[in-house]
Amino acid sequence: MEAKKAEDSLVVMNELVLPNDTNTFGNLMGGRLMYWMDIGAAMAAGKHCNKPCMTASVDNISFKNPIKLGNIVHIEVKLTRAFNTSMEVRIQVWGEDPLHKHKYASNEAYFTFVALDEHNRPSPVPALIPETDEEKEQYKAALRRRQLRLILGGKMSPDDATELKALFVQNAVGQNQQA
Ligand SMILES: CC(C)(COP(=O)(O)OP(=O)(O)OC[C@H]1O[C@@H](n2cnc3c(N)ncnc32)[C@H](O)[C@@H]1OP(=O)(O)O)[C@@H](O)C(=O)NCCC(=O)NCCS
């Protein structure tokens, strides 16, 4: 399978927050936003592997700023890394107030998708080529994020999370040297 560039998975979505999308505060409902994020992430994963994909996990999502009724939702999605049958997808969300020309960060999350074969079993995906400095940084950190979510999902023993453990050991050494 030929490796593919991270840039080739890019998906940009825009939505307008309508009354039916809001909660009682007049802000976009978190559940509606997560629905759009899941759709954007599924499209990016599908562009990369050209196979049906299933959401395997969603990392924590913190809502930094609410998106108001009548504002525009910008969702940008790109793969950070492909593993064997799974892919990590980064989703960034901004709100935009079109009347005051103000764009603000809303949230960011990582979703994991698994490609499936004709029997709905996990199926291998092409490797991902990171090109920009940001893509390379995301690619490197994706391995640690994967180890953390597999530990939390009961799919990996903490003893096997070599890169994740190394991060904590490095930080602990740095702090001891400063003390
Ligand atoms: C996701 C799913 C296909 C994984 O199937 P499985 O039989 O557990 O398969 P495996 O244990 O062989 O894992 C397959 C891949 O999924 C990854 N995976 C499994 N559980 C995971 C989790 N909780 N978080 C992240 N990745 C996970 C594995 O790391 C593996 O990736 P790799 O091949 O790149 O190393 C299966 O758990 C499933 O169908 N879940 C329901 C998904 C769903 O309903 N989503 C919402 C609707 S789209």
Q: Tell me the pLDDT tens digit for each residue of 117-163.
A: 999 999 999 999 999 999 999 999 999 999 999 999 999 999 989 88
Pocket of ligand 1 (CB under 6 A): 54-57, 83-86, 112, 114, 122, 149-150, 153, 155
Q: 11 C-alpha to center of ligand 1: Å? A: 23
Ligand 1 mutation pick, 86, 88, 89, max ligand atoms within 8 A of CB: 86
Task: Report d(CA 123, CA 38) in Å as an integer.
Answer: 20
For residue 153, which atom of ligand 1 is closest to its CA?
A: 23
At how many degrees (to 10) do helices 162-178 and 133-152 cross? 110
Task: Outline where the chain has alpha helix (H).
Answer: 30-49, 133-152, 162-178
Q: What is the pLDDT of residue 113?
A: 98
The length of the chain in residues reads 179
Ligand 1 mutation pick, 114, 125, 146, 151, max ligand atoms within 8 A of CB: 114
Which domains are delineated in the chain? 4-130 (3.10.129.10)
Q: Is 49 exposed, middle or buried (0-12, 13-18, 19+ CB in 10 A)?
A: buried
Mean confidence (pLDDT) of the chain: 94
Share of the chain above pLDDT 90, in %: 85
Which pTM does this prediction carry? 0.92
Q: What is the pLDDT of residues 44-69, one digit of tens each?
A: 999 999 999 999 999 988 889 999 99
Q: 85 C-alpha to center of ligand 1: Å? A: 9
Query: Whose CA is closest to atom 40 on ligand 1?
Result: 56
CB 89, CB 112: distance < 8 Å:
yes
Confidence of residue 167 (pLDDT cuts 50, 70, 90): confident
Task: Report d(CA 71, CA 51) in Å as an integer.
Answer: 34
Task: Report d(CA 27, CA 99) in Å as an integer.
Answer: 16
Confidence of residue 19 (pLDDT cuts 50, 70, 90): very high
Confidence of residue 179 (pLDDT cuts 50, 70, 90): low
C-beta neighbour count of 1 within 10 angstroms: 10
Q: 56 C-alpha to center of ligand 1: Å? A: 5
Mean pLDDT of 164-179: 74
CB 21, CB 32: distance < 8 Å:
yes
Query: Whose CA is closest to atom 20 on ligand 1?
Result: 56
